[in-house]
Structure 1
Amino acid sequence: MAFSGKTHQLRSWGRYPTVLPAEVRPVYWRSELPDLAHFEQPLLPYAYGRSYGDSCLNEGGVSLDVSHLRRFISFDKAEGLLCCEAGVSLAEVLELVVPRGWFIPVTPGTKFVSVGGAIANDVHGKNHHKAGTFGCHITRFELLRSNGERLICSPHKNTKLFEATIGGLGLTGVILWAEFRLKPIINPFIDMERIQFSSLDEFMQISAETDQKYEYTMSWVDVLIGGRDLCRGIFMCGNNDQSRVRASQKIGKKLPLTVPFDFPSFMLNTLTVKSFNELYYHSQFSKRVHKVVPYEPFFYPLDSIHEWNRMYGKRGFLQYQFVVPFQDGFEAMREIIGRIQHSGEGSFLTVLKTFGTIPSPGMLSFPRPGLTLALDFAFDGQKTLRLLDELDEIVRQSGGAVYPAKDARMSAENFQAFFPRWQEFAHYVDPRFSSSFWRRVSHANKLAMV
């Protein structure tokens, strides 16, 4: 992203909603920072727009483009401690550290996010049950507040601001740089297994059997099959490969595909989703398949298709991710899947996994012990919004939560029920910072300045 203080329409990866900020102001240097007290409109950092909803959007406000803050500051190759500016992408981190025997400790499903964004959304990955969230591995960062203060935040210094900023959706100020611990690896390959399952019960059984054996686990699921089994899918689990022979093996670079235009909306319907699911499920001929693969197709399969969000058409899509606790989660999951089937709404990409018990450090961190399901719904106006409102109610009744980083429509009432520490968090929100999401869920006046 490259802007020069002018106004541009902005949207997130889901392409819904589209907003018009009053200004997009680039931030180039840590030594030459803008005077944030100078702006009359509310402020919000913005890097690569890979959040799915409106948490990174600031209608009528000032979007601070931090994608230019993308320099590495230090790298302790012996200890695996990396310090870089907040606009550095995870892709750039990987290019630096993987050849030197290190890996990102926790990674989301795309490497095209900024380090600052990974902190602000306290992202999770396939190894939550083993490693927690990205925020668990942050040792410190520098936070710029609108009054000009530049604060070093860590688990031992400015602790409450540290906890508020991790998972704080960019509302506590601008993260200028961050330091975090890396994970040692022997080679850039994943020793993985793919296991077909034919019901939610079987998923739970496989999950229980693999959680201790494998660091990385997740499942693609088909929630449109109907019947007693409710869903079927392919469970994927893996560990970092331990072969020293493969340490010197080069991974060939494949040219990414690009979706060149917006797909017509009629191409995405229940019939095409069911057809895709049928083909994908049966593309695996054996119950279990074992293989060793490069890390990129394992962690980032969609990154090989640039602009893949165009497949959902001009209206975009809503990704919906929730977590429900283990105690009541099984029944809640059955009810939610049943409601989706009854609605006729289809999801091409549906991911099911479990969260572990490692506590997240952020006040608004999303992961908590339980079952989590993520679905993509092509946006079909009120029909889609009504369905998601219904799902919110089931999640709320079960004691679960919806992921703010992927939300564009949840009510203030539900947000405040999902995140009971929200009022404590609000105390640490910078008075000049706001977002379209925060104004919706907190009823904060976007022009209220302290």
Structure 2
Amino acid sequence: MHEKTGPRLSGWGRIAVAGREVRSEDLERITRDVPLSRGLGRSYGDSSLPPPGWPVVAGSRLADRILAFDETTGLLRAEAGLSLFDLNRVFLPRGFFDPVAPGTQFITLGGMVAADVHGKSHHRGGSFGAHVSRLKMRVADGRIVECSREVEPDLFRATLGGMGLTGHILEVECRLLRVPSPWIHAESERVPDIDRFIDALKEAGPQWPYTVGWIDCLSRGSRMGRGILNRGRWADPAEAPGGRPPPRRRPSVPFVLPGWVIDRWSVKAFNAVFYRSHVPRVRRRILHPESFF
């Protein structure tokens, strides 16, 4: 067992409290005497932080084994600490991808269940809970139970989006999406105002499994709500490059702009440059999935 010791724990929203995280490959054991589990710490606010007077949380990231996978149905069972990054690294080359693509891959399966995360395909496939079929949990009285839509259905439904308040999520069973290639066919276009943006989203929804938009919230007048609309689908084998997408190198040192740099005028200037950096016509590309998601 490994312990991450330190005076404070924080989440993605940079809320910090006194506490420490205990980690182990045996998630059942370390959840016996603590009230809260924590994955990769990407929750906003304080949802993955210890409550006052109980400064220890059970870290799940070492409990990340893939327990079973059915190649025919795409049904996966894995421990709650498996990250979305590792899941896609293993299964995308085999023709499968997670059914919901949120804004970060650095979250755990347990966290995805607890937050019932959504992604760019929400208009088609709903949130992550729609693809979860079974959970293994430790509940408040210490019991370890399995729940689904048929067994302990109230517990199951309350846990999807329950932010960990129903118990510790130990294992997750969910169905992965079968994809024709590991590349994304993407289109992007500039949209001049909010009315046309809404119309473009409505038009794209039935035709494209993935849609996402960026809006210049500081634009005014006839340009109010202008932005960039991105649409995507998995590329067919005939249009995809040969081979697998290469792994991406990531910066190891985060860069945070000082607060005095970010004000209304600097953001307005950035938004104008970003908007004009996209050509007025529709732009079509084959992308690395990490560039799109």
Deviations 1:329-384 (A, max 9, x none): xxxxxxxxxxxxxxxxxxxxxxxxxxxxxxxxxxxxxxxxxxxxxxxxxxxxxxxx
Q: Secondary structure at the match of 2:49?
A: coil
| Residue 19 (1) aligns with residue 13 (2) | no
Distance 1:247 1:261, change over 3 A: closer
Query: Does the CA-based 8 Å contact 2:187-2:282 persist in structure 1?
Result: yes
Instruction: Give 1:57's aligned amino acid.
Output: L
**Where does residue 35 of structure 1 map in the other structure?**
32
Offset, 1:89: 0.2
Q: Secondary structure at the match of 1:178?
A: strand
TM-score (norm 1): 0.62
Query: Does the CA-based 8 Å contact 1:72-1:85 persist in structure 2?
Result: yes
Deviations 1:262-283 (A, max 9, x none): 4322111112211211111111
Offset, 1:292: 1.5
Give runs of aligned pairs for residues 253-332 of structure 1, distance below 5 A: 253-299=247-293
| Residue 188 (1) aligns with residue 182 (2) | yes
**Where does residue 9 of structure 2 map in the other structure?**
10
Among the aligned pairs, what percent are the same residue? 34
**Where does residue 232 of structure 2 map in the other structure?**
238
**Where does residue 54 of structure 1 map in the other structure?**
46
- The CA RMSD measured in Å over matched residues stands at 1.9
Q: Secondary structure at the match of 2:197?
A: helix
Instruction: Give 1:236's aligned amino acid.
Output: N
**Where does residue 164 of structure 1 map in the other structure?**
158
**Where does residue 151 of structure 1 map in the other structure?**
145
Output the CA distance in 2 between the equivalents of 1:286 and 1:111. 31
Output the CA distance in 1 between the equivalents of 2:4 and 2:254. 29
**Where does residue 135 of structure 2 map in the other structure?**
141
Instruction: Give 1:279's aligned amino acid.
Output: V
**Where does residue 422 of structure 1 map in the other structure?**
none
- Counterpart pick for 1:113 among 107, 128, 136: 107
Output the CA distance in 1 between the equivalents of 2:47 and 2:65. 25
TM-score (norm 2): 0.93
- Counterpart pick for 1:176 among 135, 156, 170: 170
The runs of at least 4 aligned residues of structure 1 exceeding 6 Å deviation read none
- Of the structure 1 ranges 273-282 and 133-142, higher mean CA displacement relative to structure 2 is found in 273-282
Output the CA distance in 1 between the equivalents of 2:254 and 2:287. 28
Q: Secondary structure at the match of 1:219?
A: strand
Instruction: Give 2:48's aligned amino acid.
Output: C
Query: Does the CA-based 8 Å contact 1:186-1:244 persist in structure 2?
Result: no
Instruction: Give 1:208's aligned amino acid.
Output: K
Distance 1:261 1:280, change over 3 A: closer
Query: Does the CA-based 8 Å contact 2:23-2:62 persist in structure 1?
Result: yes
| Residue 67 (1) aligns with residue 61 (2) | yes
- Of the structure 1 ranges 173-182 and 254-263, higher mean CA displacement relative to structure 2 is found in 254-263
Q: How many residues align?
A: 291
Output the CA distance in 1 between the equivalents of 2:142 and 2:248. 45
Deviations 1:40-98 (A, max 9, x none): xxx21111111122222224233111112111101111211111100000001001110
Instruction: Give 1:26's aligned amino acid.
Output: R
Instruction: Give 1:25's aligned amino acid.
Output: V
Output the CA distance in 1 between the equivalents of 2:200 and 2:213. 10
Gaps of 5+ in 2: none
Offset, 1:152: 0.6
Deviations 1:214-260 (A, max 9, x none): 01111011110122442210000111112246374232233223454
Instruction: Give 1:181's aligned amino acid.
Output: R
Offset, 1:261: 5.0
Distance 1:251 1:10, change over 3 A: same
**Where does residue 36 of structure 2 map in the other structure?**
44
**Where does residue 90 of structure 1 map in the other structure?**
84
**Where does residue 125 of structure 1 map in the other structure?**
119
Deviations 1:192-223 (A, max 9, x none): 11021111101111011111110111101111
Query: Does the CA-based 8 Å contact 2:23-2:30 persist in structure 1?
Result: no
Distance 1:291 1:45, change over 3 A: same
Deviations 1:145-182 (A, max 9, x none): 13221111111110000011000001111110111001
Distance 1:171 1:8, change over 3 A: farther
**Where does residue 251 of structure 1 map in the other structure?**
245
Deviations 1:373-422 (A, max 9, x none): xxxxxxxxxxxxxxxxxxxxxxxxxxxxxxxxxxxxxxxxxxxxxxxxxx
Q: Secondary structure at the match of 2:219?
A: coil
Query: Does the CA-based 8 Å contact 1:19-1:57 persist in structure 2?
Result: yes
Instruction: Give 1:63's aligned amino acid.
Output: V
Distance 1:24 1:269, change over 3 A: same
Output the CA distance in 2 between the equivalents of 1:283 and 1:160. 50
Output the CA distance in 2 between the equivalents of 1:167 and 1:58. 19
Offset, 1:30: 4.5
Output the CA distance in 2 between the equivalents of 1:252 and 1:18. 36
Offset, 1:293: 0.9
Deviations 1:1-59 (A, max 9, x none): x96275531111121x21113x43324314644533xx6xxx21111111122222224
Instruction: Give 1:46's aligned amino acid.
Output: R
